[in-house]
Structure 1
Amino acid sequence: MAAEKKRLVPISIREEEIRCDRTHEDYDTCLIKGPTVLDAIQCTFFLMDPTISTPQNPVVEKIRSYPRKAEDRTMSKITEVTIVAGPPSPKCQIQHDAPAVVFSVGGYSSYAGNFFHDFNDGFIPMYVTVNSFFPDQDVVLVLTDVNDWWSSKFTELLRTFSKHPIINLDNESATHCFPSASLGIITHGPMTVNPALLPNSKDMTDFRAFLGKAYGQTQTQNPPKSRPRLVITSRRGTVGRQLLNQDEVKIEAEKIGFDVSILEPKRGTPLNESYALINSSHAMVGIHGAALTHSLFLRPGAVFVQVVPLGAEWVSEVCFEMSAKAMGLEYMEYKIMAEESSLIETYSKDEMIIKDPVAYRGEKFSNHPAMRIYLRKQNVKLDIVRFRDYLKLVYVKAKKFMDKEG
């Protein structure tokens, strides 16, 4: 493994047939350009009729298809898939006309059940990968590390990626033949699709349209609305970043003129229902957390308000602000004051952890012990007077969007 990490340039087993690129910090990829046979039981792709190797001297590459390459603990949970050029390949039982795209949905996704990582480590990189290797082509999805609840929850989205039945290597026994295959999953960064890196110049607005294709087909036409719809994402029952006076905030928003809905997503919540609610809304408000991933379902031009807890400025920007702007949302943020944080009950206002979070934990804090304090031990009680004035501005923008788009 150590030798693989030191590779600084793309390596080639056979220039026109198999190429593995291990130059990126976050992921590896291997592309099989020629016909290949998948032995599902061995989790191995065999190059058909190789001419460069002998059975006594095979060429072997191994890859874990998940975009957390630098995290050894996470990657150890990802199934390793092998590519072999050398031995005679097994006989083909099922022939496919479309290329295979291989990736894991383990890690933080199906194992942890984290909605943010489902998209950040899964579906957005999947979208990037398919459009990198096989733009505007049909593909066959080959998945590893799949939980039943995960495949059931994301059925519509998976069908939008491919019209073919999914091959689940966790319980598949047949051999499958493909004209080509890609292994590994490409990320452009947190919640990002970079059009400059794709041959068809797709971006986050295209990904948003892709989600609409998956979940927007079953929607019925809603009657015209007289009041803008506001969705408040709830974190009740979770660890940290709960809105302690949620009911009070809801009442204030209704007084201002919003029709308010509370979204309290659970693992079993059908995504088409969440999509229908949010896509028909004009504004969304929530404290930084995985539930804000539902902002992907907002229509371009809708208002998205991220409530930023103390110490969460950088992670709020990286996870949701940049993606919201890239999708054409009207992004706004409400940075809480020290008095609105539950941490004020534990620390004094003069302590650095409250007074200057950036100085306390640094510009980026993914590996800083403060991460657990700011994200897991902090709840929020909004100053209703202060937040009311903010909501009035949100209402003006949401009403303008409603009058224009319905």
Structure 2
Amino acid sequence: MKASMRSRQEPRRVSNGVIIAAMLLSLCVLSIVKARYCSTPFAKPDDQLQEQMNSSIRMETDEPASMAAGEQEEEEEESTGGGGDAVPAVITTTPAVVGAGSKGKKPTCFMTSKRSERCEATGDIRVEGTASTIYIGGIDKEWKTKPYARYHDPVAMAHVREFTLKPADESTPACAKNHSVPAFIFSNGGFSGNLYHDYTDVLVPLFLSTHQFKGEVQFLLSGLKPWWVNKFILFFRQLTKYDILDIDNDRDVHCFPRIVVGATFHKDMGVDPARSPGQVSVVDFKRSLRHAFGLQRAAASRGGVTGDGKPRLLIISRKNSRRFLNEREMAQTAAAMDFDVRIAEPDQHTDMSTFARLVNSADVMIGVHGAGLTNMVFLPRGAVLIQVVPFGGLEWLTTVTFKNPAKDMEVTYMDYNVQLEESSLLDQYPRDHQVLTDPYAVHKQGWDALKTAYLDKQNIRMNLDMFKKILQEALDRLPPV
């Protein structure tokens, strides 16, 4: 009896298992179909591609013009790993040593993030700049480091000078100049000279790492470019009371009681207060900038900078790629909506103080994705930033660079996604071309392909009816007078 019952039940169990498996398979198929066709007109990049793209974010100035002393700017938004003949740097990172050294004088070098390394030591410290060597008493091994917060990017790091921390011995050179304050070494190699990289790779990490010294710190700058230092000298004076030393070319041996090599990176254009000394935030960074450049306006409003009821709109202009093709019509449309309109094009020759004051006077700022939007650091609290996202599935890029930082900066963020009919790409490719129909397939070809197709060759002709709508929404989101 039991045997016969068991024989009749077995097929039912097998049948139930097949049904359950079929249902699970159907759910999986439906999930894939939904992710592919329902959530977005294009397939989203897979996690591996997304990580590759996030680590590839770079910016370039709109015009790669030469600076004083013939300095050439880096290209914006090149790929990590670069193209062409770029040679990756060999980056040597030594794990942190815990409890090493009987008197605690041994330096500790450790990665503060995947992008930044910090080395710190106290005691008998001698810096021989021309040899890129730091002699430290009481250690028994060498350490090598590059003081620039972009360790994940070998192309950038190839342009950063390496420093060696060496044990001091009888051959260590004697002190030529003695200092009573700590030294802080950083670099403006890499991609410095581009406004986005100036802030995200150098200035924000520098503020995060040195504000607690309250000015009592000596900056030693590697790769010093005089025009670059002059551009930000007012900000540097918020962090140090002393003249910046060109450590690569200084022939004196400088001696310090303490040294820190390399700034700490938290996130693009941002600071994590929970991990920062004194729990400072990027708002404190903005406050330091306001003091540096004498910016009087703390908050935006619908009343505008003059309080006459006309909020100011600043249109960030570009010369080459990602231009507004109907910029004048945009300005006329905004003026008809009772905006006080300004159009400005920041470049490498723009006076920082003058442009900072202009941005600080704006209630709404709009521009196509690019380094010029970095000027949002000068916007007053409550101002609206509208980032125009070029056609081509670039939301991941625009999110990391400007959307995410805006909230921490007390800036109201909006984006405008360019439709194909507004893009000059429609004039360059047939409608069935992959560039127009499947952007993420282009993404998978690598950063150079993405950059060439969607950043280098695309201009925007804004739909003026949609432009009116987004301006009205921005106006509604401004604080009242």
Q: TM-score range by the shorter chain?
A: 0.7 to 0.9
Name 2:334's counterpart in structure 1. 253
Name 1:371's counterpart in structure 2. 451
CA shift in 2, pair 1:103/1:241, >3 Å: same
Q: Is contact 1:233–1:284 with CA below 8 Å preserved after alignment?
A: yes
Give the superposition deviation at 1:16.
4.0
| Deviates further, 91-100 or 158-167 | 91-100
CA shift in 2, pair 1:73/1:392, >3 Å: closer
Which of residues 160, 175, 195 in structure 2 aligns to 1:115?
195
CA shift in 2, pair 1:73/1:360, >3 Å: closer
Name 1:77's counterpart in structure 2. 159
Deviations 1:216-256 (A, max 9, x none): 2689xx754431111110111x3x21111111111111111
Which of residues 161, 186, 195 in structure 2 aligns to 1:103?
186
Q: Secondary structure at the match of 1:66?
A: coil
Could you tell me how far apart the structure 1 residues matched to 2:471 and 2:437 are?
Answer: 26
Deviations 1:141-197 (A, max 9, x none): 110112221112111111112111101113322222222111122211211211121
Q: Which runs of 5+ in 1 are unaligned?
A: 54-58
Which of residues 280, 300, 323 in structure 2 aligns to 1:242?
323
Aligned pair 1:10/2:96, yes or no? yes
Name 1:125's counterpart in structure 2. 205
Name 1:56's counterpart in structure 2. none
* 1:31 maps to amino acid: E
Name 2:175's counterpart in structure 1. 92
Aligned pair 1:166/2:244, yes or no? yes
Name 2:359's counterpart in structure 1. 278
CA shift in 2, pair 1:390/1:22, >3 Å: closer
* 1:171 maps to amino acid: N
Could you tell me how far apart the structure 1 residues matched to 2:265 and 2:179 are?
Answer: 27
Q: Is contact 1:216–1:275 with CA below 8 Å preserved after alignment?
A: no
Deviations 1:10-59 (A, max 9, x none): 13663444111147432222111224121222222211xx3454xxxxx3
TM-score of the superposition, structure 2-length normalised?
A: 0.74
Name 2:232's counterpart in structure 1. 154
Could you tell me how far apart the structure 2 residues matched to 1:82 and 1:189 are?
Answer: 27
Q: Is contact 1:256–1:395 with CA below 8 Å preserved after alignment?
A: no
Runs of 4+ in 1 over 6 A off after TM superposition: none
Which of residues 332, 356, 363 in structure 1 aligns to 2:414?
332
Name 1:304's counterpart in structure 2. 385
Name 2:255's counterpart in structure 1. 177
Q: Secondary structure at the match of 1:291?
A: helix
| Deviates further, 12-21 or 151-160 | 12-21
Q: Secondary structure at the match of 2:279?
A: coil
Q: Secondary structure at the match of 2:310?
A: coil
Could you tell me how far apart the structure 2 residues matched to 1:376 and 1:319 are?
Answer: 18
Name 1:44's counterpart in structure 2. 133
Q: Is contact 1:153–1:268 with CA below 8 Å preserved after alignment?
A: no
Q: Is contact 1:305–1:332 with CA below 8 Å preserved after alignment?
A: yes
Aligned pair 1:193/2:271, yes or no? yes
Q: Secondary structure at the match of 2:460?
A: coil
Could you tell me how far apart the structure 2 residues matched to 1:285 and 1:45 are?
Answer: 46
* 1:177 maps to amino acid: C
Name 2:291's counterpart in structure 1. 213
TM-score of the superposition, structure 1-length normalised?
A: 0.87
Figure out how many residues of one structure are paired with residues of the other and give that number.
382
Which of residues 378, 384, 387 in structure 1 aligns to 2:467?
387
Name 2:37's counterpart in structure 1. none
Alignment of 1:347-362 (within 5 A): 347-358=429-440, 360-361=442-443
Could you tell me how far apart the structure 2 residues matched to 1:232 and 1:395 are?
Answer: 15
* 1:270 maps to amino acid: D
Give the superposition deviation at 1:366.
7.4
Aligned pair 1:141/2:227, yes or no? no
Larger radius of gyration: 2
Give the superposition deviation at 1:200.
1.3
Could you tell me how far apart the structure 1 residues matched to 2:325 and 2:379 are?
Answer: 25
Give the superposition deviation at 1:76.
2.0
Q: Is contact 2:381–2:411 with CA below 8 Å preserved after alignment?
A: yes
Q: CA RMSD in A?
A: 2.5
Give the superposition deviation at 1:72.
2.6
Could you tell me how far apart the structure 1 residues matched to 2:230 and 2:335 are?
Answer: 35
Could you tell me how far apart the structure 1 residues matched to 2:343 and 2:123 are?
Answer: 51
Name 2:38's counterpart in structure 1. none
Could you tell me how far apart the structure 2 residues matched to 1:180 and 1:382 are?
Answer: 55
Q: Is contact 2:106–2:138 with CA below 8 Å preserved after alignment?
A: no
Which of residues 120, 123, 127 in structure 2 aligns to 1:31?
120
CA shift in 2, pair 1:309/1:155, >3 Å: same
Counting aligned pairs with the same residue, the percent is: 31
Could you tell me how far apart the structure 1 residues matched to 2:474 and 2:113 are?
Answer: 41
Q: Is contact 2:269–2:401 with CA below 8 Å preserved after alignment?
A: yes
Q: Secondary structure at the match of 1:396?
A: helix
Could you tell me how far apart the structure 1 residues matched to 2:275 and 2:180 are?
Answer: 27
CA shift in 2, pair 1:185/1:263, >3 Å: same
Could you tell me how far apart the structure 1 residues matched to 2:255 and 2:157 are?
Answer: 27
Aligned pair 1:343/2:425, yes or no? yes
